[in-house]
Amino acid sequence: MTDQGFILSPSLLSSDFSRLHEELAALEQAGLQWAHWDVMDGHFVPNITFGAPVIAKCRARSSLFFDVHLMIEQPEAYLDDFVRAGADLICVHAEASRHLERVVSRIQELGAKPAVALNPHTPLNVLEYVLPRLDMVLVMSVNPGFGGQRFIPFSLKKVRDLKNMIEHRKSKALIQVDGGVDLDNTKAIVDSGADVLVSGSAFFGHPPYARRRQQFKEAVQADSSG
């Protein structure tokens, strides 16, 4: 794992969409390894962003790990498109998939890493049987749809409970936290057991990116005893 025990996956939702490939190049230059794509359809969430064609164009210009978060209804209908576009990991919402096991299997068959996202109110037990198949679980720490929202505090307990569940099952799944992540709560989130932190507004709003990445690293190292 990178970045002192956690991976930082900047959410492109807060980047400059008119210069996406330049933003991706800037992330790579700053030493980032992942980029988080928030795909929204205006149905599952009340907002619309971009789809597979945009990701495909950027894939041709970037070697970052593309972490694709599908906030869409009927994700099963679009899996092939997103894998063909170059998604390395595809994360579907448990709430959007009536046949979650089938969706997870299909992502795997297509050669991408499967992940499942849970809205804040969704209990962990929906993961019970699919957990061994997952490369990552995304704990939403805001209600999805928009950047710049406040972190929901009970998410920390959810991450701790999920960490126990993963250890107990000897699962390889990483824990990702998405929504309201900033320098002030990064340490608590990582200490609770998160492996991958998504940051949109608290990352892109504070260039240069290499310095911002460093600040996230230092936030985790900070001694909270004093």
Q: Which residues pair with 45 in a beta bridge?
A: none
- 171 counts as binding ligand DX5 under rule CB under 6 A: no
Can residue 41 be called a binding residue for Zn ion (CB under 5 A)? no
Name the residue nearer to ligand DX5 (CB basis): 147 or 193.
Answer: 147
Q: Would residue 3 show up in a list of annotated catalytic residues for this protein?
A: no
Number of C-alpha atoms within 13 angstroms, CB side, residue 133? 19
Cα-based torsion angle of the residue sequence 23, 25, 28, 29 in order, rounded to the nearest 10 degrees = -100
Which 67-96 positions form the footprint of ligand DX5 (CB under 6 A)?
Answer: 69
Dist CA 113 CA 91 (whole Å): 8
**Residue 31, class by beta-carbon neighbours within 10 Å (0-12 exposed, 13-18 middle, 19+ buried)?**
middle
Among 23, 135, 178, 195, binds ligand DX5 (CB under 6 A): 178
Q: How far is the CB of 144 from ligand DX5 (least distance, A)?
A: 3
Confirm if 50 and 85 have CB atoms less than 8 A apart.
no
- 23 near ligand DX5 (CB under 6 A): no
213 contacts: CB under 8 Å, gap ≥ 6: 3, 8, 30, 31, 32
Position 36: which residue type?
A: H
Question: Quick check: is 223 catalytic?
Answer: no
Interaction between residue 14 and ligand DX5 (CB under 6 A): yes
Annotated catalytic residue: which of 67, 135, 178, 195?
A: 178
φ/ψ (deg, to 5) at 223: -85, 115
144 binds ligand DX5 (CB under 6 A): yes
Residue nearest to ligand DX5 (CB): 200
Piece of 7-15, 105-113, 123-131, 160-168 that binds ligand DX5 (CB under 6 A): 7-15
Q: Binding partner of residue 62 among ligand DX5, Zn ion, none, CB under 5 to 8 Å per kind? A: none
Hey, which residues are catalytic here?
38, 178
**Residue numbers at the binding site for ligand DX5 (CB under 6 A):** 11, 13-14, 36, 38, 69, 142, 144-149, 178-181, 198-202
